[in-house]
C-alpha cells in the first residue's frame, strides 16, 4: 500500500482502536471490573511508551547515533522544568531556548 | 435523535457550561501541543484533509505523532496500528474508571462521551463525577469539557498545519515534538516504578534500534510496562514485611 491510501488506513484503524479502548469498559464490559494486574500494568503505559518515543527523537534525530547532539542537554533542561512546573508551555520554552543557545554556542 | 429543542436545552445546562469554562485553562496549555501535531502532519507531507482526519478521528496527540513517525519511516500499517494500540491502552484505564459513573446513562450518551475521553477530559471530569450524585449532571459537565478540548484540538492542529511551512527549518521546531512528550512524562517520574519503567524503555529503544519497521518502539514500551509493574509489586511485598 502506498501514500495517501496507506495513511488513511492508518488513520481509520488507529482511530477505531482508540475509540474501542475508550468505549471498552463504559459500554462493552460495563458489567465487569478491570482485572487488578491489568489496571496496575496500564498505569505504566505513559511512562514507558512516551519515553520510548522521546529517546530516539532526542538522541538520534537523523536516524543514527552520531556525535552527542545539543538536543540531549536541551531535553534534560526541559525535563527538569517539566518535573517542577508540570507546564507544557514552560517545558517548550525552556527546551527550545536551551537548544537555540547551545546551537549558537556550537557554531 | 437530537432535536433542536434538545440541543437548546443541553446548551442551557449549567453543568455543561461549567465544564466548558473550567476546561479553558487546560485548553490554553494544549495550544502548543496541538500546533506541534499540525506542524508534524505538514512536515510528513500529508494533505490538509488527512491532517484534519488525524486530529478528528484519532483525537490523541501522542498517537497522531507516533502514527506519523512510523508512517514516514515506512513501517507497515499493521505495525503502526499495533504500536499506537499499545500507546492507547491507557484509555482502557480511563474507561474503567469512568464506567460506574456512566452506567445509568442511555447508550447514545455513553457512545458519545467515550469519543471525547482523552487524558485531559478524564482528569477534569472524573473529579466532578466523583463529587456529584447525579450522573446526568456529571455527564453534562464531561460533555462541556470534551467540547472545549475538541474545538481547541481541531483549531490548533489546523493552525499548526498551515503555519508549519512558514517556520524556517533553522529554528529546529521539530524538537518541540519530543518536548511536548517530556512535559507529559517528567512529572510522572516521582515514583520509583515509573522511573524504572521509563529507564528500561529508554535503554531498550536504543538497544533494539536495529530491529526493522521501528519494532523497537513497541518492544521497548512493553518491556518498560513489565519492568514498572514488577517493580511496584516487589515494592509492595517489601513494604508488607
Give whole-number Cα distances, B235 to A60, B9, B91, B122, B241, in Å.
34, 51, 25, 28, 10
Cell numbers given for B108: 447514545
Q: Which residues of B37-76 are buried (b: 16+ CB within 10 A; e: fewer)?
A: bbbbbbbbebeeebbbbbbebbbbbbbbbbbbbbbeeebe
Q: Is position A38 within any domain?
A: no
Same domain, A19 and A69: no
Same domain, A77 and A104: yes
Q: Is position A5 within any domain?
A: yes
pLDDT band at A1 (very low <50, low <70, confident <90, very high): low
| Structure confidence by residue, pLDDT tens digits, B180-212 | 999 999 999 999 999 999 999 999 999 999 898
Percent of chain A scored above 90 by pLDDT? 68
CA distance A67 to chain B (A): 15
CB-based contact B88 A34, cutoff 8 Å: no
User: Residue B187: closest CA among chain A residues belongs to which residue?
Assistant: A83
The helix/strand/coil state of A107 is coil
User: Residue B51: closest CA among chain A residues belongs to which residue?
Assistant: A11
CB-based contact B29 A95, cutoff 8 Å: no
For chain A, the average pLDDT equals 89
> Whole domain around residue A102: which residue ranges?
46-107
CB-based contact A71 B180, cutoff 8 Å: no
Residue B84 has pLDDT above 90, yes or no: yes
User: Residue B67: closest CA among chain A residues belongs to which residue?
Assistant: A10
Same domain, A28 and A6: yes
| Structure confidence by residue, pLDDT tens digits, B140-182 | 999 999 999 999 999 999 999 999 888 887 888 889 889 999 9
Residue A68 has pLDDT above 80, yes or no: no
CA distance A64 to chain B (A): 9
Same domain, A68 and A104: yes
Q: Is position A85 within any domain?
A: yes
How many structural domains compose chain A? 2
Residue B52 has pLDDT above 90, yes or no: yes
CA distance B81 to chain A (A): 5
* CA-based nearest residue to B170, from A69, A56, A93, A99: A99
Position B2 scores a pLDDT of 58
Q: Select the residue of A9, A25, A86 nearest B99 (Cβ to Cβ).
A: A25
Contacts of B102 in chain A (CB under 8 A): 26
pLDDT band at B59 (very low <50, low <70, confident <90, very high): very high
Give the integer Cα–Cα distance in Å for A59 and B116: 34
Q: Is position A71 within any domain?
A: yes
CA distance B144 to chain A (A): 18
**Mean pLDDT value of segment A21-35:** 86
Residue A107 has pLDDT above 80, yes or no: no
Amino acid at each position: 500500500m502506498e501514500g495517501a491510501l496507506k495513511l488513511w488506513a492508518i488513520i481509520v484503524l488507529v482511530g477505531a482502536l482508540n475509540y474501542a479502548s475508550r468505549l471498552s469498559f463504559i459500554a462493552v464490559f460495563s458489567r465487569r471490573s478491570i482485572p487488578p494486574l491489568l489496571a496496575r500494568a496500564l498505569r505504566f503505559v505513559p511512562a514507558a511508551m512516551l519515553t520510548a518515543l522521546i529517546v530516539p527523537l532526542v538522541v538520534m534525530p537523523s536516524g543514527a547515533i552520531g556525535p552527542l547532539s545539543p538536543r540531549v542537554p536541551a531535553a534534560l533542561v526541559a525535563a527538569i522544568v517539566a518535573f517542577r512546573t508540570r507546564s507544557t508551555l514552560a517545558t517548550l520554552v525552556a527546551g527550545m531556548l536551551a537548544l537555540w543557545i547551545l546551537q549558537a554556542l556550537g557554531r | 435523535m437530537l432535536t433542536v429543542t434538545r440541543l437548546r436545552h443541553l446548551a442551557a445546562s449549567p453543568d455543561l457550561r461549567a465544564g466548558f469554562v473550567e476546561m479553558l485553562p487546560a485548553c490554553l496549555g494544549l495550544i502548543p501541543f496541538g500546533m506541534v501535531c499540525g506542524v508534524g502532519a505538514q512536515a510528513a507531507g500529508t494533505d490538509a484533509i488527512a491532517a484534519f482526519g488525524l486530529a478528528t478521528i484519532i483525537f490523541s496527540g501522542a498517537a497522531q505523532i507516533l502514527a506519523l513517525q512510523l508512517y514516514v519511516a515506512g513501517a507497515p500499517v499493521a505495525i503502526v496500528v499495533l504500536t499506537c494500540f499499545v500507546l492507547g491502552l491507557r484509555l482502557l484505564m480511563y474507561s474503567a474508571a469512568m464506567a460506574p459513573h456512566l452506567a445509568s446513562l442511555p447508550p447514545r450518551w455513553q457512545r458519545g462521551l467515550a469519543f471525547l475521553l482523552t487524558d485531559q477530559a478524564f482528569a477534569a471530569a472524573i473529579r466532578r463525577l466523583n463529587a456529584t450524585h447525579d450522573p446526568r449532571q456529571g455527564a453534562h459537565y464531561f460533555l462541556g469539557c470534551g467540547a472545549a478540548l475538541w474545538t481547541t484540538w481541531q483549531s490548533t492542529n489546523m493552525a499548526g498545519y498551515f503555519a508549519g511551512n512558514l517556520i524556517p527549518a533553522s529554528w529546529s521546531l521539530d524538537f518541540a515534538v519530543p518536548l511536548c512528550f517530556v512535559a507529559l512524562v517528567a512529572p510522572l517520574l516521582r515514583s520509583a516504578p515509573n522511573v524504572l519503567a521509563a529507564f528500561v524503555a529508554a535503554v531498550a529503544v536504543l538497544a533494539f534500534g536495529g530491529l526493522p519497521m521501528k519494532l523497537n518502539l513497541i518492544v521497548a514500551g512493553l518491556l518498560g510496562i513489565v519492568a514498572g509493574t514488577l517493580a511496584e509489586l516487589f515494592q509492595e511485598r517489601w513494604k508488607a514485611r
